[in-house]
Amino acid sequence: MPSHRNIILIGFMGVGKGSVAREVVKISNYISVDTDDLIESMENRTVKKIFEQSGEEYFRKLEKKVSVWLENSVNNTLISTGGGFYKQENLKEIGIVVFLNSPFDKILKRIKTHPNASKKLKKRPLLNDLSRAKELYNERLPEYMAVADITIDVTNKSALECAKELLKKVKEYA
């Protein structure tokens, strides 16, 4: 396990990284941070607005800045990330990488059946075009798998079940 002892959650948009992180926090001593939340507070605007007003490239630069800060300054923390954050070169230096996985169709169903479905779709610029989103999923899947230390299949499991599995696997990994 990297010396920082952080857990870094990666996975596609809508797979449930935030929900699982909240359950881990409830049943453990971990505190969680979310890279998109950090970026939004740094910029005082939403990810959606950052994409619209400054473009994706600018957003990726902010992710890079956050990744450097996480590596240098954050310890013993559960870090939930935006779906593209896994591309950061220093991911493994930040902490143990946990990939939350589910088939694209199940992820889409999860988003669409959520009580705030339209908000969830609207706030994610890369989900505007669903056929492009599926391509993106297919491109990223092998990359997520390659960088993961631990993979959790979240399909048909509650966030609490996933959180328990995560803590068990992290303990075994250490």
Name the residues that contact ligand S3P, by CB under 6 A: 13, 36, 47, 82-84, 124-126
Q: Which is nearer to ligand S3P, 46 or 76 (CB)?
A: 46
CB of 126 to ligand S3P, least distance (A): 5
CB of 27 to ligand S3P, least distance (A): 22
Query: How far apart (Å, rounded) are the C-alpha atoms in residues 71 and 75?
Result: 8
Q: What is the DSSP string of 60-106?
A: HHHHHHHHHHHHHH--S-EEE--TTGGG-TTHHHHEEEEEEE--HHH
CB of 40 to ligand S3P, least distance (A): 10
Q: Which is nearer to ligand S3P, 38 or 96 (CB)?
A: 38
Q: How many CA atoms lie within 13 A of 38 on its CB side?
A: 19
Q: Which is nearer to ligand S3P, 83 or 95 (CB)?
A: 83
Query: How far apart (Å, rounded) are the C-alpha atoms in residues 160 and 21?
Result: 9
Q: How far, CA to CA in Å, does 41 sit from each of 20, 25, 52, 60, 115?
A: 22, 21, 17, 15, 25
Residue nearest to ligand S3P according to CB distances in the complex: 82
Task: Retrieve residue 134's tokens.
Answer: 């599926």
Asked whether the beta carbons of 83 and 11 are under 8 A apart, the reply is yes
CB of 174 to ligand S3P, least distance (A): 26
CB of 124 to ligand S3P, least distance (A): 5
Q: Which is nearer to ligand S3P, 84 or 95 (CB)?
A: 84
Q: Which is nearer to ligand S3P, 1 or 42 (CB)?
A: 42
